[in-house]
Amino acid sequence: MLNEKERKEIKIFSKRAQMEVVKMIAGLPAGHLGGCLSICDLLSVLYNKQMKIEPSNPEWEERDWLVDSKGHSGPAVYASLALKGYFPMEQLATLNIPHTDLPSHCDRNHTVGIDMTTGSLGQGASLAAGVANGMKIDGRDNYVFLILGDGEIQEGQVWEMAMHAASRKLEHLIAFVDYNKLQIDGRTDTDSICNVGDIAAKFRSFGWYAQSVNGHDVDAIDDAITLAKANRGCPSVIVMDTVKGYGWSKSANQVGSHSRGFTAEEKEEALAEMQKELDRYEGTYA
Ligand SMILES: Cc1ncc(C[n+]2csc(CCOP(=O)(O)OP(=O)(O)O)c2C)c(N)n1
C-alpha cells in the first residue's frame, strides 16, 4: 500500500518520464511512442518503490534486475534511469543518433543501468528466466522483473520460458504483461491477427501465480508486486490492463502510436497535455 507521499512521487515521476519520452522521440523522424507511454506507471512503481537498486552503483550484486523484453520501449526505461540519476538527463537527447549509448532498443553493453539486451521479441523472456535461475542456484534473493508485450506473447519462446520457469520454481521471477490490446498493426484481443485470449488463465495453467490489475493504478500495481514477492514455489505474472499511447489524447489507444513522429505543434500539444496532468498531481496529492 502506498502512502500519500509515495503516491505523489510515483505519479509525478511517471508523468515526467512520459514527457521525456515525448521530447526524445520528437527529436527523431519516429520512435516507439505507444508502448513506451503504456509502461511508465509500472516503471515508476518499480524504480521508486519495489526494486532494490543503487543508481550510483549500477552493477551492485545485490540489486534486482529489470529485463524489458519488449526492448523497443527502451526510451521509457532510459527516461526512468535518467530521472533516478543513473546518467545525466541531457543524455536523453542522444536517443538513436549515430554512436549513441541510448539505442532505440535496450543494450546492456551501451547503457548504464540496463541489465539485459533485448529487442528480438520473446528472447528477453528466456534471458530473464535464466538470470532468475542463476540467482536461485547462487542462493541470492534478488528479484528479476520481466516486462513482456501482449503482442510479444504470441512468440512461442515465451511459453517455453513459462513452462521452464514453473518447473524450476523460479519464485523470484516476476513478469508483467503490458496488455495494451494493440500490437504493431492491429489488436491483440480480437481474431484479426492472433487473439491472445485470457492471459492470466494461460499463465496459471502453466503453473504460475497470476494476477490482473489496472496498469495505470499505481496502488494496484504496487499491491500486486507485494503479493507476488510473498508468493512461494512458482513464478508470478501480473497482467496489466493498460492503454497504448497513454497520456496524450492523440496517441491513446491508437494503433498508429506504435511508432510515430511529431510535428513541432504536436510535440507542444502532447507536452502541454502532460504538463496539465503533472500540475494536477502536484496539486492533488499531499
Ligand atoms: C522477433 C521479433 N519479431 C518482430 C519484431 C518487430 N516488432 C517490434 S515491436 C512489435 C510489436 C510488439 O507488440 P507488443 O508486444 O504488443 O508491444 P507494444 O504494443 O507494447 O509496443 C513487433 C512485431 C521484433 N522486434 N522481434
Instruction: Say what the pLDDT of residue 285 is.
Output: 59
Q: Output the CA 253–ligand 1 centroid distance in Å.
A: 16
Mean pLDDT, the chain cut into blocks of 10 residues (286 residues total): 95 98 97 98 98 98 98 98 98 97 98 98 98 97 98 98 98 98 97 97 98 98 98 98 98 98 98 97 76
Instruction: Give backbone dihedrals phi and psi of 104, rounded to 5 degrees, phi first.
Output: -60, -35
Q: Output the CA 258–ligand 1 centroid distance in Å.
A: 9
Mutating to test ligand 1, I would choose from 77, 123, 152, 157 the residue with most ligand atoms within 8 A of its C-beta, which is 152
Instruction: Say what the pLDDT of residue 232 is.
Output: 96
Cell numbers representing residue 29 in the block: 523522424
Choices 3.40.50.970, 3.40.50.2300, 1.10.287.110, 3.10.520.10: CATH for 4-284: 3.40.50.970
Largest separation between any pair of C-alpha atoms in the chain: 53
Atom 21, ligand 1: residue with shortest CA distance? 35
Q: Output the CA 121–ligand 1 centroid distance in Å.
A: 6
Q: Output the CA 151–ligand 1 centroid distance in Å.
A: 6
The DSSP letter of residue 260 is: B
Measured from CB, residues less than 6 Å from any atom of ligand 1 are 34-35, 38, 70, 72, 119-122, 149-152, 178, 180, 182-184, 244, 258
The minimum-distance atom of ligand 1 relative to the CA of 155 is: 1
CA 273, 114, 224, 238 dihedral sign is positive
Q: Do the Cβ atoms of 148 and 177 come closer than 8 Å?
A: yes
Q: Output the CA 38–ligand 1 centroid distance in Å.
A: 14
Cell numbers representing residue 35 in the block: 508502448
The DSSP letter of residue 73 is: G
- For the beta carbon of residue 88, count every other beta carbon within 10 angstroms: 8
| Contacts by residues 134-141 (CB-CB < 8 Å, ≥ 24 positions apart) | 135/172, 136/168, 136/170, 136/172, 140/61, 140/62, 141/172
The enclosing H or E element of 226 equals helix 218-230
| pTM (whole model) above 0.85 | yes
Atom 22, ligand 1: residue with shortest CA distance? 184
Instruction: Give backbone dihedrals phi and psi of 28, rounded to 5 degrees, phi first.
Output: -125, 165
Q: Output the CA 83–ligand 1 centroid distance in Å.
A: 26
Cell numbers representing residue 286 in the block: 499531499
Measure the CA–CA gap between 85 and 56, rounded to whole angstroms: 8
- For the beta carbon of residue 250, count every other beta carbon within 10 angstroms: 14
